[in-house]
Amino acid sequence: MPNNNWLDEHWKKAHNPNYLGTFYFNDVLGAGANATITRLAQEQVFNPSSRREEQCNVAHFAEGILPLILNKTACKFLSALSGDNRPRAWVGAKIFIEVKKEKVKGKLETVLRLGDYRAGHISQAAPQPPAPPEPSRIHCEDCNNFLTPFDRDGKTYSPQQLAKSTQKLHGKDLCLDCLDRAEGRKEAGENNMEGFNDDTNS
């Protein structure tokens, strides 16, 4: 779903809006934020530089701020803080996240850095992105049961794809059982899925 507010937000937010970046500070988090790690995970993250998804180590926090992609510098800090190189030992660590200006490959860049937890610092939680809306459930127009996902030729098709196919074949939303009856092939145990092809993915 398009973000209608993108014209009024930092341009970097459009690339990875689900993860913490320098663009969340000042306006949202102020000078920095205390954070407590609740869990760590390896997640597929889109890299705007390579235009590909990459597997990254990600820290999630108790304070409600967005999760942070852990680069090598962050991992080294957490190893030193916990005295353990295993990410499992970093759960529960209390840290301070702030924006700094540092030279990266000879250029002055704005980067996120981890530091010691600052007692008394009041962190403002960054807003979490809204959860994508769940697709509405579809009723079969013959039996009134819900359409359900099904497998065919090693692929899983959604209720929306089934409805699109039965609309094309019969002009209404049908479950697989009612499609069998409509095609008169219940005894043979076959589904007439002519016209049900990859164009249902569109």
Determine the Cα–Cα distance for residues 184 and 191; give it in Å rounded to an integer.
9
Q: Which of 33, 107, 108, 120 lies closest to 68, judged by CA?
A: 33
pLDDT in tens, 88-125: 999 999 999 988 888 878 888 888 899 999 876 655 54
pLDDT in tens, 30-86: 578 899 999 999 998 877 667 788 899 999 999 888 899 999 999 999 999 999 999
Q: Which of 176, 109, 97 lies closest to 143, judged by CA?
A: 176
Within 10 angstroms of residue 53's Cβ, the number of other Cβ atoms is 11
pTM over 0.85: no
* Region of poorest pLDDT, from 7-21, 55-69, 143-157: 7-21
Determine the Cα–Cα distance for residues 19 and 12; give it in Å rounded to an integer.
11
Helix (H, G, I), strand (E, B) or coil at 60: strand
